[in-house]
Homo-oligomer: A and B are copies of this chain.
Amino acid sequence: MNEKAPYRYYLAESEIPKYWYNLRADMKSLPDPIINPATLSPLKTEELYPVFTELSSQLEMDNTTRYIEIPDEVRDMYKIYRPSPLTRAYNLERVLDTPAKIYFKFEGNNTSGSHKLNSAIAQAYNAKVQGLKGLTTETGAGQWGTALSEACAYFGIPLIIYMVKVSYNQKPYRKEVMRTFGSEVIPSPSTSTEAGRRIIAANPETGGSLGCAISEAVEKAVTTEGYKYVLGSVMNHVLVHQSIIGLETKLAMEKLGVYPDVIVGCAGGGSNLGGLIAPFAQDKILGKANPRIIAVEPASCPSLTRGKYAYDFCDTGKITPMAKMYTLGCEYIPSPNHAGGLRYHGMSPILSKLYHDGYMEAISAEQTKVFEAAVMFSKYETILPAPESAHAIRGAIDEALKCKETGEAKTILFGLTGTGYFDMNAYASYLDGKMTDYVPTDEDLKAAFEKLPKVNL
């Protein structure tokens, strides 16, 4: 294609993928299995059923099915906001004066404001198929809770959300959005669960953490008849749902006649990055192409760049199974002065394995540098990004500036996971010069690592 790429390129509705892609089916070396902390044996699918929906559990354990058909009911809801645009950042390129060609896949063009809706819809549908009475979940910045609220409203499923307390207080409007969609929102840690009461007893002033909210949501699900728990990141089935991001991106780039040299994404639990890179990582594994893949994480919560590759609990309360992943230890909670999201102590086992095996790089960024990139991007690309997403912008800008030095016209692709409308307190803090950076010391991390479970397999 010789034409100039449009600013925003939309596939047709008929081009929305009909199948999710399961990268595990092509991985030469699979992630280590999830284990039952009581027996230290690999979990069986049925052992997930008390917590998760049956369909999500089956997908979680499926290492062999390469393409999974997307149910019509899920595709119908996808059509409300998908395909999402593949956007060429012409204005950013101009301002950076770089020869690089910068593309981003914009997943913020839906009310939830983020990519999280892609998995929320699939999981709410799974609950409907199973005839459940309700769902529980946790949310940090609020994007996942909003997305699942939307999906549950659409499918008519009641939803209880444990929202990390620090976000609950920083983002009062977020909870109103979730309430508008009919959800019940509880600040976590709360006194409504044993896990919450235990965490409050140990640390009454805590602002909570994703891991702690997960503990509460899981406990609530297993102790409430007809309820199951859903998770918006980290787990394998979530990454499969999110593969729709990468599949659409790759198809759109093919239609534009381009292929990325570098792919950049933010990484908290890994759902967005895992989804974006899935078909490109396939190319890399199969030797068809060799794009660089770069995860950008906050310097305050550096699980890939400074964590251990070890078995750990997925939650602070240690009631979930254990997964082999890059982790800071399930009791690690970043400083409350960290406003930039991506606060999870661990990382998707699939991404952890790809990183461990050298298919992926990782860097960390301090939040003032991230907000600097966010404000610049806002002004010239006229999208105000979520702080989480801005980590990817920071990474992409830095790659583009390297291209300026070397004169290389690389094609850089990054994932713009969402918008920052509910993060204006953090923006205000940055604009007023009050934002500070936080980087844990080696001693901080050593103390956290000492709390890793002792597992010899």
User: Contact at B428–A179, with CB atoms within 8 Å?
Assistant: yes
Beta-carbon contacts of A420-441 to B below 8 Å, as 1s and 0s?
A: 0110110110010000000000
User: Contact at A79–B153, with CB atoms within 8 Å?
Assistant: no
Residues of A1-51 whose CB lies within 8 A of B:
6-8, 10, 12-14
User: Contact at A382–B13, with CB atoms within 8 Å?
Assistant: no
In the assembled complex, which residues on chain B have CB atoms less than 8 Å from the CB atom of A113?
Answer: 421
Please measure, in the bound complex, the distance between the C-alpha atom of A173 and the C-alpha atom of B380, giving whole angstroms. 20
Nearest CB in chain B: distance from A149 CB, A: 9
A180 interface neighbour in B12, B173, B375, B419, Cβ under 8 Å? B375
User: Contact at B150–A382, with CB atoms within 8 Å?
Assistant: yes
Residues of A121-160 whose CB lies within 8 A of B:
150, 153-154
Question: Size class of A's contact patch?
Answer: 35 or more
**A261 part of interface (Cβ distance < 8 Å):** no
Contact status of A173 and B111, CB under 8 A, knowing A154-B382, A382-B150, A384-B180: no
**A110 part of interface (Cβ distance < 8 Å):** yes
**A80 part of interface (Cβ distance < 8 Å):** yes
User: Contact at B173–A173, with CB atoms within 8 Å?
Assistant: yes
Beta-carbon contacts of A355-397 to B below 8 Å, as 1s and 0s?
A: 0000000000000000000010011111110000000000000
Please measure, in the bound complex, the distance between the C-alpha atom of A383 and the C-alpha atom of B150, giving whole angstroms. 9
Please measure, in the bound complex, the distance between the C-alpha atom of A335 and the C-alpha atom of B95, giving whole angstroms. 46
Contact status of A79 and B382, CB under 8 A, knowing A154-B91, A375-B180, A424-B173: no
In the assembled complex, which residues on chain B have CB atoms less than 8 Å from the CB atom of A154?
Answer: 91, 379-380, 382
**A70 part of interface (Cβ distance < 8 Å):** no
User: Contact at A8–B80, with CB atoms within 8 Å?
Assistant: yes
Please measure, in the bound complex, the distance between the C-alpha atom of A180 and the C-alpha atom of B379, giving whole angstroms. 8
In the assembled complex, which residues on chain B have CB atoms less than 8 Å from the CB atom of A381?
Answer: 80
In the assembled complex, which residues on chain B have CB atoms less than 8 Å from the CB atom of A173?
Answer: 173, 421-422, 424-425
> Residue of B at shortest CB range from A426?
B176
Q: Interface of A with B (CB < 8 Å)?
A: 6-8, 10, 12-14, 77, 79-81, 91, 109-113, 117, 150, 153-154, 172-173, 176-177, 179-182, 375, 378-384, 419, 421-422, 424-425, 427-428, 431
Contacts beyond the supplied A176-B431, A421-B422: 18 A-B pairs with Cβ under 8 Å: A7-B13, A7-B79, A8-B79, A8-B80, A110-B382, A111-B378, A111-B382, A113-B421, A150-B382, A173-B173, A173-B421, A176-B427, A179-B427, A180-B378, A180-B384, A180-B431, A182-B379, A421-B421
